[in-house]
Structure 1
Amino acid sequence: MVNSKRLVDTFIELVQIDSETKHEGNFQAFLKTRFQSLGLEVKEDDTMSKTGFGANNLVCRLPATTDADAIFFSCHVDTVTPGVGIKSQIKDDIIYSDGTTILAADDKAGIAIMLETIQLIKENNTPHGTLEFVLSVGEESGLIGIKAFDMSALTANYGFVLDTGGPVGSITVGSPTHAGLEIEIHGTAAHSGIEPEKGISALEIAAKAISQMKLGRIDFETTANIGIIKGGTATNIVMEHVRMVAEVRSINSKSCETQIQHMKDLFEKTTAEMGGAITIKVEMKYGGYHFDAETNVVKIATQAMATLGMTAKHETSGGGSDANIFNEQGKETTNLSIGYEKIHTVHEYIPIRELEKATALAYEIVKHVASK
């Protein structure tokens, strides 16, 4: 039933409207008009003043035509760089950019899927409960938009984020708790050629601590990484200050806490032994979730896939998405693969067949929920 030409034309139209993170305003205004033209009620929140981003979040609502559960679909409207002046091209039924920018299938493919699903519902008079479409800003900068979103604006208690790469058929059943650490070590400056003995190198403190630290793949649930190290002013000065930025991720929240404590203990112990000073700030970026095959959203997506002749793959992700925040705020949500590949690069692409399959899946989910 999917109108492939309309779907592809919609996607190409969407990617031509620039919406890099913090500059989502024009695209969000376009979407507001587009969803309203399809007969949906569109509500805009007032989070822009809190987030500092280029637009507010939107909730677009299609009223129920039958007594069925309300559900929501969610996508983000922002893109990474380079995402200005995107020119798409089709080769062998695959959509690419011209190679100078990203394609922005992450996540404009998801938005195209939303729009085509709505049109299919209307053209076929498909019965449905209340359908809500959430369009968030700032996802690429730490899920900023959805963190500021008021979940009470939603009627639905569960839903589906359309924002995972790879072939259609993957259901995200686990995503990690993610914590960020900022570590600042202070030593003592001294002339490195005349009296280095009087200095305490903040870098040496950091190096000694890190050499004893478990990093990388800790176990099958947990990872840790120190991604940024900055310090020093000149080669002839014993380094007085080092700033590091690190992260810990784990499907198991207790394992996340254990790894954070391990890193803190080593930094603090080593700093004390070598006579420096240290401050460590820990920020929980988002909470994780873990579902099984009987979780409602997993069952719905799995059964919808079966109807379409697909075999569902239940996958655990090492990354986060807006789904993490929905779950954290009590809205049961999984993330579905929609077919894009090599995101965040100028080599990003999406096969048209995958775009069609993802649309068919979203439409089947609507029908499945209405038939329950």
Structure 2
Amino acid sequence: MVNRTRLVDEFIELVKIDSLSRKERKMCDALKQKLAALGYSPAEDDAGEKIGGECGNIICNVKGSKAVPAVLITAHMDTVVPGIGKKPVIDGDIIRSDGTTILGGDDISGVAVILEALKVLKENNIQHGDIQIAFTIAEEIGLMGAKNMDFSKIYAKYGFILDSDGKIGCAAVNAPSQNKIHAVIKGKTAHAGIEPENGISAISIAADAVSNMRLGRIDEETTANIGVINGGSATNIVCDRVEIEGEARSRQQSKLEAQTIHMKECFEKAAEKWNGQVEFNTQLEYPSFSIGKEADIIKILEAAAAKCGLDFEAISTGGGSDTNIFNSKGIESVDLSIGMTMVHSVNEQISITDMEKAAEFLISIIENVK
């Protein structure tokens, strides 16, 4: 029932729209027009005002005819850089970037799949319960749209977020919490050529701290990374201030806390060794979620996959998504694969067949809610 040509055309049309985080106005307007053309009444919440963005999240209700729990179907509108002037290229079954920008399949493929599913449901008069559509903003910069969504308008029991890689039929049912880490290391300035011994290098303290940290893959549930280091003003001045941004993630809260404490101690020990100072701050970016194999949403997914001839697989992920936020709000949610690969790079691509299968799977999910 999925119209392959229509799905591709809509995806190509949408990925050409610039929609960086906090600058999703054009995408938002285009999607509201498309939903209105289907006979629905999309609305924006005030999330954009809260985060300094151009628009809010789109929330759109599709009334059903079956007395079953409502579902929330979501994808995010924003893309990462380099994402201005995207030129998608169709190469057989593959749609890819032209190599100068990202493609934007993350997550416009999810948006296109949702729109195609809505059209198929309507055209074929497929019976279903209430559907709530949410197209979120600023997912790529910390799930800001989902965090600031007006949840007073959301009544769905189950959530299906289309924002994952992997084969079609996969659903992420376990995902980590993330602690965002910010450290300010303070040393003492001095002339680097005349009296370096009177200075305390914040860069040396930072290097000492980071070199003693456990980073990368800690275990199968836990990762950590130092991603941003800023400091220094000139080669002839001993640097007195360095700012560092990093993160720790784990699907086990005790492991997350242990890794965060370890990173803090590395900074503190290095600062003490070099007679410097450190200010260490951490903030929970998003909470973990874990859905058991006996959960009702898993039964829905298994039945839907079987109807489509797909092999359902419940997987664990090391990434965060809007799914974390929806679960934290009491909406049992999973992150569905739509087949995108090499995301956040100029080599990003997606299979047309995978998008087609993802739309079929989503339709089947909606049909199988009981």
Distance 2:5 2:213 in 1: 54
- Report Cα offsets for 1:304-359 as digits up to 9, x if no partner: 11221111122211111111111122211110001111112222221111111000
Q: Calculate the aligned-residue CA RMSD, in Å.
A: 1.5
- Report Cα offsets for 1:148-177 as digits up to 9, x if no partner: 102221120221000112221211011110
Q: Which residue of 2 aligns with 1:23?
A: 23
Equivalent residue runs for 1:200-215 within 5 Å: 200-215=200-215
User: 3-state DSSP class of the match of 2:7?
Assistant: helix
**Does the CA contact (< 8 Å) of 1:286 and 1:324 recur in 2?**
yes
Confirm whether residue 280 of structure 1 aligns to residue 280 of structure 2.
yes
Query: Measured at CA, do residues 82 and 194 of structure 1 come closer, stay the same or move farther in structure 2, by a change above 3 Å?
Result: closer
Q: Which residue of 2 aligns with 1:309?
A: 309
Aligned-partner residue type, residue 126 of structure 2: T
Q: Which residue of 1 aligns with 2:57?
A: 57
**Does the CA contact (< 8 Å) of 2:179 and 2:282 recur in 1?**
yes
Q: Which residue of 2 aligns with 1:77?
A: 77
**Does the CA contact (< 8 Å) of 1:298 and 1:334 recur in 2?**
no
Query: Measured at CA, do residues 97 and 219 of structure 1 come closer, stay the same or move farther in structure 2, by a change above 3 Å?
Result: closer
Aligned-partner residue type, residue 312 of structure 1: F
Equivalent residue runs for 1:203-352 within 5 Å: 203-352=203-352
Q: Which residue of 2 aligns with 1:176?
A: 176
Deviation at 1:283, TM superposition (A): 1.3
**Does the CA contact (< 8 Å) of 1:39 and 1:62 recur in 2?**
no
Unaligned runs of 5+ in 1: none
User: 3-state DSSP class of the match of 2:368?
Assistant: helix
Deviation at 1:242, TM superposition (A): 1.5
Distance 1:132 1:166 in 2: 25
Deviation at 1:238, TM superposition (A): 2.3
Deviation at 1:228, TM superposition (A): 1.7
Q: Which residue of 1 aligns with 2:107?
A: 107
Deviation at 1:87, TM superposition (A): 2.7
Worse overlay, 86-95 or 331-340: 86-95
**Does the CA contact (< 8 Å) of 1:167 and 1:340 recur in 2?**
no
Query: Measured at CA, do residues 67 and 137 of structure 1 come closer, stay the same or move farther in structure 2, by a change above 3 Å?
Result: same
Q: Which residue of 2 aligns with 1:357?
A: 357
**Does the CA contact (< 8 Å) of 2:82 and 2:102 recur in 1?**
yes
Deviation at 1:301, TM superposition (A): 1.6
Worse overlay, 217-226 or 14-23: 14-23
Unaligned runs of 5+ in 2: none
Distance 1:190 1:350 in 2: 54
Distance 2:15 2:243 in 1: 38
User: 3-state DSSP class of the match of 1:112?
Assistant: helix
Deviation at 1:113, TM superposition (A): 1.1
Identity %: 44
Aligned-partner residue type, residue 300 of structure 1: I
Worse overlay, 133-142 or 234-243: 234-243
Deviation at 1:128, TM superposition (A): 0.9
- Report Cα offsets for 1:266-305 as digits up to 9, x if no partner: 2123323432121111111111112232223233222211
Deviation >4 Å, runs of 4+: none
Worse overlay, 150-159 or 95-104: 95-104
**Does the CA contact (< 8 Å) of 1:171 and 1:298 recur in 2?**
no
User: 3-state DSSP class of the match of 2:155?
Assistant: coil
Distance 1:99 1:235 in 2: 37
Deviation at 1:239, TM superposition (A): 2.2
- Report Cα offsets for 1:27-81 as digits up to 9, x if no partner: 1011111111112231211122111112111111111211111001000011112
Equivalent residue runs for 1:100-179 within 5 Å: 100-179=100-179
Worse overlay, 99-108 or 68-77: 99-108
User: 3-state DSSP class of the match of 2:224?
Assistant: strand
Distance 2:200 2:98 in 1: 52
User: 3-state DSSP class of the match of 2:178?
Assistant: strand
Q: What is the TM-score of this pair, normalised by structure 2?
A: 0.96
Q: Which residue of 1 aligns with 2:8?
A: 8
Distance 1:149 1:212 in 2: 40
